[in-house]
Amino acid sequence: MSAQERLTDSLYGLGWGIVKKLPEPVAVRLGRSIADLAWKQRGKGVLRLESNYARVVPDASPERLTELSRAGMRSYLRYWMESFRLPAWSKDRIRGGFDPKGLHHLTDGLAAGKGVILALPHMANWDLAGAWVTTALETPFTTVAERLKPETLYDRFVAYREGLGMEVLPHSGGTAFGTLARRLRDGGLVCLVAERDLSSSGVEVRFFGEATRIPAGPALLAQQTGALLLPVTLWYDDSPVMQGKVHPPVEVPETGTRAEKTSVMAQALADAFAEGIADHPEDWHMLQRLWLKDLEPRPSSDGARP
């Protein structure tokens, strides 16, 4: 393990060890202070966030983009402060911390017993949404986590999410898809963060008018298992309660090859994500290159949420 990796692991460990013990108003102020400091430094992540917002809000003035990036960093740090504190939240605090609209799409799908796939972009705090599902709905689910370096950091995230009631599978290794399919065939719930492709098998879509790739997994799982595919978007308002929307199902086309069906479904998923992001751009935490034009000649190692 390199010195940088040891430092990264230690900082995350301090976050989960110390921040969760702070009074909530203190944690909120700390998160905002860190966000404003990072924003003022104009590092790679902030500049990339601003560049991504320029595609989401193409008519925004330079002043508007800087305002958005500041709000975006505050939202991003709210995510981290909440995540560090979630293991210490009571069940009542979790139940009261999220107010999703369109929930009937999820509950009706689960009641039908055919399995449900929730697909989300990196908006607001999906860990809180997941904790709400396992607590308020008393429904366990399976998800996939990106392999992080160092390995001890990956282990921290797995332990954290398992502590919230999630089953966590590694993204690499090639066995995740089969396990997810089995869970869905058993009528279970699968949740996937799905607007950034981490493999070489992504599906090209138009996203805010430009080409990018998103994972094929959600669409393929829906086709293979008959599970319901539901896009979900999340956002913050001025209250301590996170907001969210479960969008109508992405249907499997009746005709076409598997690749053609996957392409159509991936585009529908991207369109639902774009709708939610356009309404609440400051809560989309994409500090990495995303669009194909930006990925050339190779992906960046900008900061990201796992």
Q: What digits encode the pLDDT tens for the residues 60-69?
A: 999 999 999 9
Confidence class for position 302, pLDDT limits 50, 70, 90: very low
d(CA 68, CA 130): 26
Catalytic residue among 50, 82, 105, 122: 122
Q: What is the pTM of this model?
A: 0.91
Distance (Å, whole) CA 275 – CA 197? 19
pLDDT of residue 298: 47
* Sequence-ordered list of residues with C-beta below 8 angstroms from that of 7, at least 6 positions apart, any chain: none
What DSSP state is assigned to residue 99? E
Average pLDDT, the chain: 91
Give per-residue pLDDT as tens, 133-179.
999 999 999 999 876 666 777 777 888 888 889 999 987 766 899 99
**82 included as an active-site residue:** no
> Where residue 246 falls among pLDDT bands split at 50, 70, 90?
very high
Q: Which one of 195, 247, 280, 282 is the catalytic residue?
A: 195
What share of the chain in percent tops pLDDT 90? 76
Burial class from Cβ neighbours inside 10 Å (0-12, 13-18, 19+) for residue 279 reads: exposed
Q: Is 195 a catalytic residue?
A: yes
Confirm if 204 and 195 have CB atoms less than 8 A apart.
no
Where are the extended beta strands (E) located within 163-263? 166-170, 189-193, 203-207, 210-214, 228-235, 242-246
